[in-house]
Each structure stands twice: as structure tokens, then as C-alpha cells.
Amino acid sequence: MTPQDLVKGLYQDCLNPRRLDRLTDYLADDFLGAGGEQGPAGFRTTVERMVTAFPDLKFEIEDLFGAGDRICVRWRFEAEHRGPLGAVAPSGRMATQQGIGIYEARDGKLARAWLQVDRLGVLQQIGAIKP
């Protein structure tokens, strides 16, 4: 599997259909996530928090490209805030978020991730912070 196939599979085979048991097929045991998540289990915890807050969350890949062992993905989602997001109670509001992730592949798995998202925009959209 190419590094780009790994990233595409992570979103399309694991995250969108919620087959989080397959994370070990894509993430190295020593994976280090953008928020400090360690390994597939740490990444799973982060994904589960987002899915709890936005149960209908589905990533749409808008761009995917790479050079060598680095892969860049630009994605977006639109989902309804139906569960708690940290201390923020469900609002029932729709939120749209775009993000850019850079992944590093090593030995046939993803080993590192960097992520830039508009968290402030989501908090404003769900009414947690005034615009």
C-alpha cells in the first residue's frame, strides 16, 4: 500500500464507517498524533470523542497528495452537534469544519500526524463561543 493509500484508507475504511478496530491496519504501534495521541488506541480515543459529539460526522476528502513518505490531506465535514464536546452540551446545531493533515509513513503504516483545523469556528457554530 502506498502512503497515499494509507491515508485514504484511514478515512474511508476506518473513520467514516466507524471501523475503528481496523486502525491497527493503518497506524504504527508507536504512532504519534497531532494532539499527542500515542498509538492506535490513543488515536481511537480522539476519534470516539468527535463521534460522540457529532454522530453523523463523515470526512469528505477534498485533496490528497504526497511526496516521499509525507502525505497531505485536505478534508471537510458537516455534522450535527448531538453529543457533548468536552464541557459543551449538545446544541443540535450544524457545524462545518475544514482541516489539513500531514501524515508521515514508515514501514507500511502511518507513524506521525500533524493537523490544522478551525476549532474556534466549530465552537462558534455550536454556540459555545460568541462570534
pLDDT of residue 5: 96
Spans of the chain, pLDDT less than 50? none
The whole-angstrom separation of Cα 10 and Cα 76 is: 15
pLDDT tens across 16-41, in order? 999 999 999 999 999 999 999 999 99
3-125 belongs to CATH 3.80.10.10:
no
Domain ranges of the chain: 3-125
pLDDT of residue 130: 87
The whole-angstrom separation of Cα 56 and Cα 49 is: 13
Residue 99 burial (C-beta neighbours within 10 Å; 0-12, 13-18, 19+): middle
Q: Which amino acid is at 67?
A: A
pLDDT tens across 97-108, in order? 999 999 999 999
CA 11 to chain centre: 8
pLDDT of residue 131: 80
